[in-house]
Amino acid sequence: MLSDDFNSARVMTPSRATEGRFQRVKVSILGRYMLADRREFPCQVLEMSPGDAVVIAPVAGIEGERIIAYLDHIGRVEGTILKQVDGGFLMDISATDRKRDKMAAQLTWLANKDLLNLPEDRRHERVVPDIRHSNVVLDDGRRYNCKIIDISLSGAAIELDVRPAMGTPITLGRMRARVVRHFQNGVAVEFAAAQEMLNVVQQNLRVMN
């Protein structure tokens, strides 16, 4: 458990350990995972590196089983179950070197944000748009009205009557996105491609007929 004493704080950084493995750091990341039979369950990651993760899960799966997880702050993670542990499983992570470098930076921030009282990680400034009302369309064609709470070049927080599972692809206005977080009155989404200008984002919020 991380200490909250700033003076004794030691910045934790996931790094390559001996024999090519990665060193895990302690985190608390919520998410969902899908087993090979496509069943989905909620989960919590307690330790993670760019190469593997310790996952607390209601159904542990079997060794060697392929798994896909959608984790808060991290996004989509793919890999296989290495072994079962108490209350869950240890999974390896399949990723490119570029993805691992990005994950290492995210994990460093997550491991130290409480310890060092770091601000929330926001890649782009969030604003309240001129156009507050838009719609969300799921891949199966279901359409819902929504209200934009705030929006940035990379994502948005929206009030929505339904809670699609994390990782669910959606269309917000004319922009492709996926659900990355749930909160009391709606969901947060991340755009498939970061938009270049906020005025373009607002234009793309217009409701499709």
Q: pLDDT tens, 94-143?
A: 998 888 888 887 887 777 665 554 445 445 556 777 778 899 999 889 99
Higher pLDDT, 158 or 209: 158
For residue 201, what are its two tokens? 């984002």
Count of CB atoms situated within 10 Å of the CB of 16: 14
Tell me what pLDDT residue 97 has: 87
28 φ/ψ angles, rounded to the nearest 5 degrees = -140, 95
For residue 35, what are its two tokens? 């087993």
Burial (CB count within 10 angstroms: exposed 0-12, middle 13-18, buried 19+), residue 67? buried
Quick one: pLDDT band at residue 67, thresholds 50, 70, 90?
Answer: very high
113: left (phi over 0), alpha (psi -120 to 50) or beta: alpha
Q: Tell me the C-alpha distance between 115 and 134, whole Å.
A: 39
Query: Which residue, 170, 167, 146, is CA-closest to 158?
Result: 146
Query: Model's pTM, two decimal places?
Result: 0.50
pLDDT of 146 strictly over 90:
yes
Tell me what pLDDT residue 17 has: 44
Tell me what pLDDT residue 11 has: 44
Find residue 140's DSSP bridge partners: none
Q: Tell me the C-alpha distance between 36 and 60, whole Å.
A: 12
Query: Which residue, 42, 96, 37, 100, is CA-closest to 69?
Result: 42
